Structure 1
């Protein structure tokens, strides 16, 4: 399995158009991104994984083989202050993904919000449905983050393991 993210965008969508708040394509190593269990990698994928979607590099659980069946792991974004919105404005997270999960394993997109008073980060909360199975190719995911407008957030890509199978990385 590999959940590969190549291009991350936080957009403020207004009636007049979209404004990019943050974007990153993994062409320059980690740049503030981190992984909590060391399974995630940044680099150039090699077969059997597909080539990166735009550019030559991406992030994934394994870029040249099967993901290990040891620990779940989270790819964590740098913190981003989302803009305040009003009226019909919205804030969205958009990213390209390719994945191949073994049965019962899955991925989730998660969010953690910083408390403006204490500076403490909230527990991770799922903001997507389970991502499972095998994708037909690269696909664009769009998640509405308007409920978090004006907040300092981090995005997590949570890779979970249920059974000891192996699949492409």
Structure 2
């Protein structure tokens, strides 16, 4: 059984710039603060070093001490970014969630800028936990996603973000 949530925002920057920021190693720690029982991100790192690429694994260090592994499954600059979380959920989340799949899409806005949509699909350990997980994901996790997108917009609105993407 799965639980799905999503969030959207329009950012007044070109898709390439938004994509490059979102997929940078620094972005999660700058933007994902967590809410309630959902931990924030302290830092991320590509396992083995090097640039982010399809097939790479990133370690995501959480504010609760967790270290999650994120497998990068799609990097299609500047349109789509996908990853799979399959390990590192700390208790009590590990009792509830088997995995998580994040999908970011970046679409040029009709008046310029970028429409960003972030969808998350969580696979449950058992259908019995659906009521609890559904409330947690559609409540605290969804709030964390909305705040993350707002922080992304703020970071890209900063004067240093006005330089063209490379």
The TM-score normalised by the length of structure 1 is 0.29
The TM-score normalised by the length of structure 2 is 0.29
